[in-house]
Amino acid sequence: MLYDPSRRAPASEGDFLGILSLGCAMENMWLMANSLGIGVHIVSSLSGKKVATEIAKLLDLPDNFSIAFSMRLGYPVTPVHYLRVRRDRDDFVHHNGFRK
């Protein structure tokens, strides 16, 4: 997922909403892939400066684009069944302050 900071809304200079929007879009792609039985793996190493520069050269990206996120998609060899562990609500809900 590429990001072009030059295409921001004029009043949004310096905020984080552009990147946040990309994260929302990536989450939606992840959810759709999962619903189709496609596995998703987030690859964070591609957004590092050195690797991003090499990837940009490889893909012949314009200078104004940067790599925000990347993911690999594929069908798992065997179906993955996740054990969901629910935390107790009192572990993370606080009322009128933050206390343990």
The tens digit of pLDDT for each residue in 1-48 reads: 888 877 777 666 666 777 788 889 999 999 999 899 898 988 877 767
Asked if the structure places residue 75 within a domain, the reply is: yes
Q: Other CB atoms closer than 10 Å to residue 67's CB: what's the count?
A: 19
CA distance 29 to 71: 10
Residue 35 in domain: yes
Query: Considering the domain boundaries, does residue 97 fall inside one?
Result: no
Which domain, by its residues, includes 78?
2-91
Q: Is residue 99 part of a domain?
A: no
The CATH code of the domain that includes 71 is: 3.40.109.10
Indicate whether 96 belongs to any domain.
Answer: no
Q: 72 lies in a domain?
A: yes
pLDDT digits (tens, 9 = 90+) for 63-76: 888 888 889 999 98
Whether 98 is covered by a domain: the verdict is no
Q: What is the pLDDT of residue 100?
A: 59
Residue 41 is classified by DSSP as E
Q: Kindly tell me the burial class for residue 68, based on how many C-beta atoms sit within 10 Å of its own C-beta (0-12, 13-18, 19 or more).
A: buried
| Number of domains into which the chain is organized | 1
d(CA 78, CA 76): 5
Structural domain contains residue 10: yes
Nearest-angstrom CA–CA distance, 44 and 26:
13
